[in-house]
Amino acid sequence: MDYKKKLFIYVLIAMLVPPSGWIFNLWFTGLARGETFLKVLMNPIQVVYFIIATSAMLMFFLSRLNKIEYYISQGANNNEEAAALISRMPYYFIIGEFLYNFFGPMSGMLGVPHFEIFDNFLLGEILALPNIFLFLTPFFVFFC
């Protein structure tokens, strides 16, 4: 498998981990149990959001990876542009993931009566924070 495909799959995995972690946290902490948990899990808004956000992220990264592939094929002609693009990749990722993790819980909780209570909603929202600190920041650091 070539590097581009591998990286593409890694981005896809990076889009799958935060919702999994967040849903696990909802269940594990007991904030959403039983029917509420199933409603969140089956929330169509969340599914649509996941599909759109993941597709957008994948498309965006695919275009960037294609550009990197083009620069590599050009040899030393575009080294500066290539270096600039590579240096921007973690920022694209961290911003995309941050937005994804910010709006993701909202989409999951939208329409669920249990989370119409502000405190529940707020707790549900901040449960995405460990995802950012445990997954996204190390990714950023290691990449740079």
Partner 1 sequence: MFFFVKGLEEWTQSIPLNDRYPFLSIGKKIFLSNFSTALGIAIQIMLLNIVMVFVNSKIEFSSLLGKNLVSFFISVSISFINIVFITNQIKEPILKISSMVEQFGKGVLSIKIALPNRDEIGLMARIFDEAIKNFAELIKKTKSSSELMNSASGEISSGSQDLSQRTQEQASSIEETSATMEEITSRVKDSATNINKIVELTNSSVIKIENAMKELETIVVAMNEVNNSSKEIRNINNVINDIAFQTNLLALNAAVEAARAGEQGKGFAVVATEVRNLAQRSSDAASEIKNLIDRSTNMIEDSNKRIEEFSIVITEFHEQLTTVKESMDKMQSSISEQEKSIEEINRAILQMDQVIQQNAAFVEEMAASAENLSAEADALAQMVSFFKVDSSMKNSNNFAMKQTTPKKPTPTGLVPYSEAS
Site string for partner 1, 91-130 (x = CB under 8 A): ----------------------------x---x--xx-xx
d(CA 88, CA 62): 14
Q: How far apart are CB 42 and partner 1 at their closest, in Å?
A: 21
Comparison of 49 and 93: residue with beta carbon closer to partner 1: 93
Q: How far apart are CB 8 and partner 1 at their closest, in Å?
A: 10
d(CA 127, CA 104): 11
Question: How far apart are the two ends of the chain, measured CA to CA in Å?
Answer: 24
* Span of 44-52, 74-82, 105-113 interacting with partner 1 by CB under 8 A: 74-82
How many residues contact partner 1, by CB under 8 A? 45
Q: How far apart are CB 144 and partner 1 at their closest, in Å?
A: 4
d(CA 4, CA 83): 17
Give the closest residue to 27 by CA, choosing from 14, 38, 15. 38
d(CA 44, CA 74): 44
Is residue 4 involved in binding partner 1 (CB under 8 A)? yes
d(CA 60, CA 39): 30
Q: How far apart are CB 45 and partner 1 at their closest, in Å?
A: 22
**In 74-136, which residue ranges form alpha helices assigned H by DSSP?**
79-109, 118-126, 129-131
Q: Which residues bind partner 1 (CB under 8 A)?
A: 3-4, 6-7, 10-11, 13-14, 17, 25, 28-31, 68, 71-72, 75, 79-80, 82-84, 86-87, 89, 119, 123, 126-127, 129-130, 132-144
